[in-house]
Structure 1
Amino acid sequence: MNLLITGGLGYIGAHLAVELLKSNANVFILDDLSNSKIQKKKNIEKLSKKKIKFIKNDLSNYKILSKILKKNKIHTVFHLAGSKAVNESFFKPYKYYLNNSFKTMQLLRAMHESDVNNIIFSSSATVYGVKNKNGIKEDGYLEPINPYGTSKLISEKLIIDQSKIKKKFNYIILRYFNPIGYHPSGLLSDDKSNDNLVPNLINKLRLKKPFLIYGRDYDTKDGTAIRDYIHINDLISAHVSSLKYLYKNKNEIFNVGTGKGYSVLEILKTFDKVLNRKITKKFVKRRKGDPAIIYCSNLRIKKKLNWRPMHNLKDMCKYALNKIY
């Protein structure tokens, strides 16, 4: 079976590729290297002891994409490519509508042209906004409060519409909460996004600078924002389970999180324990578009995929630091 991962040299894509290569599947990666490096391909192959076919390209031209899909006889697309920084999306909204929404449309058009009918899409908890009661269910209010979330929601709607136009088209949409941690080797750990807690923390530790906490006046138990964090291995296992479910011709949307909320200070205290020292921190003003509390209900994915998160918060923090710091 031939599987294509768009954005496959990114943080999640690289971890997914290593896991998929454990099976008999042929893994193809399409990436424009705008947020990654070709070294990641070598690292994936080193860890898996298998070869992958790498295609340097973006998703802007559906005709080129269609040729790629046909030539390589792709059966299923894992669509992970896109821009992902919430804060940046306020300053560069059109970048997000282009990279996330428009390019998803181009990919879907290419899939339609080349008769590729299976997609697993990397969506986000940001599609929910702030009006839902925690833990948020998949049928909650969809009112994003930032352009990033809007771009992801548009992509979801495009995918769902394609399934209505083409009856044999199948999809699974995975709404990620906050993945953290890395492969134990440290070879897949070069996520430099300053919009994400763990890469930001690691960079500050390396530079011996204080970690910035955005806001200390939220209506939470310790004044800092609460999020649902999930270990990268658990997130990847959800993709693998989704692939099996998809082949039963099922269309579904799943939250992927632990169903528990942890504050920023709780995360830092856990890192303190792992490091056996206190992390230097500094409080700064809130970032625009950051809700106070957001965590999911994961009952649907547990029931339908028999999936369970296997790692606790301490595991997540250990994996984040292993062979990195």
Structure 2
Amino acid sequence: MILVTGGAGYVGSHACVELLNAGQQVVVFDNFCNSNSASLDRVQKICGKSLIAVEGDIRDQAAIESVLIKYGCTAVLHFAGLKSVQDSVTNPLEYYDNNVIGSHRLLRAMQNTGVNRIIFSSSATVYGNPQFLPYTEDHPLNAINPYGRTKLVIEDMLRDQYASDSKWSIGILRYFNPVGAHESGLIGEDPVGVPNNLVPFVAQVAIGRRERLNIWGNDYDTPDGTGVRDYIHVMDLADGHVSALRLLDAPKCFAVNLGTGSGSSVLDVVRAFEKVSGRRVPYDFKPRRPGDIDSYYAATAHAFELMGWKATRTLETMCADHWRWQSANPNGYSG
């Protein structure tokens, strides 16, 4: 049995699909603060298999221990956490409380119950401003916002735990920019309030929920002046977790990038989305936001060498799958 913290969320729900399809049994532990339990009903519909859902907070160590023992969990996929860079700047203590303290309680619960295999959902934000591109896994770690620093603290906790007890097996997966949705259109990204990420905002403009897209800066040192990011399909990302899980049979601690290895600009994304949706996405250029950088993208060779994994889906596929989800669910799960 695999415990999936935050399994009702965007990436977590797609990972549950891949876990179930790979023959794993799954128990989800989620407080639904920024997710919807309906996603889990749809995961089961997609797979034709059942999972167990437990409502709870990762800061509740006793509850986690109870779940680990009750269901005989042998490994954890840890997605639970707050994830907005902008919100973390405004509410840093909330991010340290939920992300860092919650992860500490989770690790304590695992230690107390003898569960020592974990895949952690980290982020490319741990690298900070690029000293070179593409980011390789040995790029200096220098997170520049509270969200990224919470991820880095958790990574350090995991590395320190492994150094103290080499029976642990730990995979740290550094995401780049997850986009897209399951090809069925049944599950996808359903942000609470105004989307913080580009593709959900573009989709809401295309569907008519929002009037225009603001593009923050058009004077970057990039081919079209807009920021360049490494966008990865959420199902490629989910597959990366299953590949990483297979490596945990023997003690180890590793970190890998999960990205495509190439960047797309904001305008590339807008044009791709307009093409697949047949809808116009009007936009306005606005001044740069503090802290935004020209471009970043992943080096992906290590993930392939270590796990035999690489991303295969194109930007157009990412946009088409997100549009299918958005069209079928114009108001997300609440609709």
Q: What TM bracket, shorter-length normalisation?
A: over 0.9
Q: CA RMSD in A?
A: 1.3
Tell me if structure 1 keeps the 8 A contact 2:78–2:118: yes
State the one-letter code of the partner of 1:202.
Answer: A
The alpha carbon displacement at 1:121 in A equals: 0.3
Take 2:169 and 2:279, find their aligned partners in 1: how far apart are those partners? 49
The alpha carbon displacement at 1:290 in A equals: 2.1
Name 2:89's counterpart in structure 1. 90
TM-superposition CA deviations, 1:201-223 (whole Å, max 9, x none): 12222325111111112222211
The alpha carbon displacement at 1:41 in A equals: 1.8
- Change beyond 3 A, Cα 1:310–1:133: same
Matched, 1:315 2:314: no
Instruction: Give SS of 2:284's match.
Output: strand
The alpha carbon displacement at 1:323 in A equals: 4.0
* Within-5 A mapping of 1:224-243: 224-243=226-245
Take 1:37 and 1:309, find their aligned partners in 2: how far apart are those partners? 27
The alpha carbon displacement at 1:63 in A equals: 2.5
> Identity over aligned residues, as a percent?
39
Name 1:284's counterpart in structure 2. 286
Take 1:137 and 1:323, find their aligned partners in 2: how far apart are those partners? 33
Tell me if structure 2 keeps the 8 A contact 1:22–1:48: yes
Tell me if structure 2 keeps the 8 A contact 1:78–1:119: yes
Instruction: Give SS of 1:21's match.
Output: helix
Pick which of 3-12 and 306-315 moved more.
Answer: 306-315
Name 2:258's counterpart in structure 1. 256
List alignment gaps of at least 5 residues for structure 1: none
Name 1:293's counterpart in structure 2. 295
- What is the aligned counterpart of 2:248 among 226, 237, 246? 246
The alpha carbon displacement at 1:24 in A equals: 2.8
The alpha carbon displacement at 1:245 in A equals: 1.3
Name 2:304's counterpart in structure 1. 302
TM-superposition CA deviations, 1:91-142 (whole Å, max 9, x none): 0111111111111111011111111000000000000001421101001111
Tell me if structure 2 keeps the 8 A contact 1:87–1:287: no
Moved beyond 6 Å, runs of 4+ = none
TM-score (norm 1): 0.96
Take 2:29 and 2:6, find their aligned partners in 1: how far apart are those partners? 6
TM-superposition CA deviations, 1:188-207 (whole Å, max 9, x none): 12421511111111222232
Name 1:218's counterpart in structure 2. 220
TM-score (norm 2): 0.93
Pick which of 55-64 and 190-199 moved more.
Answer: 190-199
Take 2:323 and 2:13, find their aligned partners in 1: how far apart are those partners? 18
Take 1:6 and 1:91, find their aligned partners in 2: how far apart are those partners? 25
Paired residues, number: 324
Take 1:212 and 1:137, find their aligned partners in 2: how far apart are those partners? 31
Name 1:129's counterpart in structure 2. 128
* Within-5 A mapping of 1:85-234: 85-192=84-191, 194-205=195-206, 206-234=208-236
State the one-letter code of the partner of 1:321.
Answer: W
Pick which of 287-296 and 297-306 moved more.
Answer: 287-296
Instruction: Give SS of 2:252's match.
Output: coil
Tell me if structure 2 keeps the 8 A contact 1:174–1:256: yes
TM-superposition CA deviations, 1:137-192 (whole Å, max 9, x none): 00111111111000100010111111112221110000000011001222212421
Take 2:272 and 2:141, find their aligned partners in 1: how far apart are those partners? 32
Pick which of 15-24 and 235-244 moved more.
Answer: 15-24
Tell me if structure 2 keeps the 8 A contact 1:15–1:183: yes
Take 2:42 and 2:297, find their aligned partners in 1: how far apart are those partners? 33
List alignment gaps of at least 5 residues for structure 2: 328-335
